[in-house]
Chain A
Amino acid sequence: MTLLETEGLEKSFGAVQALDHPDISVQRGEIVGLIGPNGAGKSTFFNALTGVDPPDAGTVWFDGEDITGLSPDRVARRGLVRTFQQTREIGTMTVIDNIRLGGTDRPGERTVPALINGERTREREAEVTTRATELLEFFDLDHMADSYASSLSGGQRKLLEIARALMLEPELFVLDEPLAGVNPTLGQSITEYIGRLNDDGMTFVIIEHDIEALRGLVDRLVVMHQGRVLAEGDPEDILSNDRVVDAYLGDMVAEAPE
């Protein structure tokens, strides 16, 4: 069953056509890896999906509904949740408060229940805190719970952002380079955790440069190049495809010093 489908997306920045009909569909329960050289349009594609930067043309279908151009908060509330390549932690709030911010259905976020602060409001806040604490423990951030998020390292910020987004219990979770800057051991447990969430029914689209990390994780790889889908299919087939190697892996070799 198709959860996400894009049709004829276009987006240009000046003379650069960042999206040129990358028609991609994602089945419910899949983990899709999205790879491609820098500037291939991967992040632009995510921005178009999530309403952060709506496409010039084309349609995004999510769970059978047209969500093109909806504001990011609406998209998120529908169950399509994302993380950012450049992490967007709230540095001026503590780590635990950052995670709690992802909590959904909180009466305390509305004026009147916030003022009354009745039993239901307090109960829900307690639930949100419990869940946030669980996630912190899993992501090995619990010792940082009361530190300001601005004091986290780059890798920890990645984790924080994933944990925070998970508070929304996404149906489709799109991750923009979740492993960049995360140490290999932790990266390993993140990929394992993604696998477990996937077993529980969560669908993923993951932009990632670490091909090795994706290899064992994803069901399908989509390769983007110059705003289009260059190739897609089984990871092993894709990674032995000459065109992909030319467009992407060649690029990786050039980038190797990084």
Chain B
Amino acid sequence: MSDRLFETLGRLRVVFDHPGLVGAGVFVFGLVLLLSPLQPEIPGGTQAILQVALLFLVYGLLVTGVNLQYGFTGLVNFGHVAFFAVGAYAAGMLTASDPFAGIGLGLHWTVGLLGAILAAALLGALVGASTLRLRDDFLAIATIATAEIVHDVLIGFESVTGGNVGLLDISQPVYDLANGDADTGLIVTLVLYLGVLLAVFALLTRLTSAAYGDVLRAIRSDELATQALGKSVFSYKMQVFVYGTALAGLAGGLWALALGAISPGMFTIDVTITLYIAMYIGGIGTHRGALLGLFLIVGLRLFTRFLNGVVPLTQTQFASGRLVLIGLILIFIIRFRPQGLLGDAKELGLDS
């Protein structure tokens, strides 16, 4: 089975070998599609698939970011969802014109997206500056705390964040350009976001295959040895942490601008856990592995959604069944292939 999996991935190599070019091509295609008079229609049953595809693309940005932090550098960030949330809410508050309860400045979506990246990066810089000089576990604790605080703020400060309702009427630039046609809007959004994800993938791959990546791997393995070789470990950790959080901000911004409405329920610790499971399944410390792992988890979600209704189980039983299944997969992976599907056991020090 895994042979066929790798074979299929092998065919995808063109995409992975030139992700930047392919990404740019995809992005341009999306723009052309948007500006063309074509109005593609989504066949009834496939709407759900495309919704999940959107989730995959946005979470893809999250998982590549947290993988840069945890997978490559060994920074344990258990609060990645906080930066995702901050990005989404920044974009929401900056662009919503009639957000119901929270703040809505009604600014242009470009301001929203930029604000999303900056806000998340700034929070990342704050958390990083205060904990990255300490032992690893402090970062883990600080990020968990950050995620909890952010989540509480989202719910508690109703006049700012809209409380449990969240923010409505966030700018949806792609839908606007598609003249409000929902199907075209969704398809074009998917194409454009795929372009963004590929571009990010290309940049990160370039970064980690340069000398920069070697320093990160060295830090993951032995900070003191890396320092003794003249590398400013703290500076690298800060950079990587901020890059990852900025990416989460981008993901949040794109998420909000695609959906047009966000609520605190989208930003629970489940998101972070999904990312970590994806990394462990796909392979820690490889960009493709993280994306593959995410693809499998999201695919599983979709698959079980289709099974729902075919098998005589209630909605709740289904939801818990899915979690049990993911748990089992994780246990099998860790037991029989601890480096994950595409990870390198030697590089992770798992072969001894």
**Interface residues, chain A, CB within 8 Å of chain B?**
50, 52, 71-74, 76-77, 81-82, 84, 88-93, 97, 100-104, 106, 108-111, 113-115, 117, 121, 125, 128, 148, 150, 164-165, 167-168
Contact = CB atoms under 8 A, between A and B. Distances in A.
Nearest to B208: A114
B230 A88 contact: no
Interface stretch (B137-145, B221-229, B251-259, B291-299): B221-229
Q: Is the interface of B mostly helix, strand, loop or mixed?
A: helix
Interface residues of B, number: 33
A88 B229 CA distance: 11
Q: Which of A50, A104, A128, A148 has the most CB of B within 10 A?
A: A148
A103 B231 CA distance: 10
B215 interface: yes
B211 A91 contact: no
Contacts of B80: none
Given A76-B230, A111-B239, A150-B349, A88 B224 contact: yes
A101 B218 contact: yes
A91 B346 CA distance: 8
Contacts of A100: 211, 214
B347 interface: yes
B222 A90 contact: yes
B212 interface: yes
Interface string B225-264: 1111111111000010001000000000000000000000
A76 B221 contact: no
Contact of A88 (B203, B210, B222, B231): B222
Contact of A101 (B215, B234, B349, B351): B215
A115 to B, nearest CB: 5
B217 interface: yes
A90 B221 contact: yes
A108 B217 contact: no
Contacts of B239: 111
A115 B205 CA distance: 9
B203 A106 contact: no
B348 interface: yes
A117 B218 contact: no
Given A74-B232, A150-B351, 17 more contacts: A73-B226, A73-B227, A90-B218, A90-B221, A90-B222, A90-B225, A92-B348, A93-B214, A101-B226, A101-B231, A108-B210, A108-B212, A111-B212, A115-B207, A117-B210, A150-B346, A164-B229
Q: Which of A77, A93, A164, A167 has the most CB of B within 10 A?
A: A93
Interface in B301-329: none
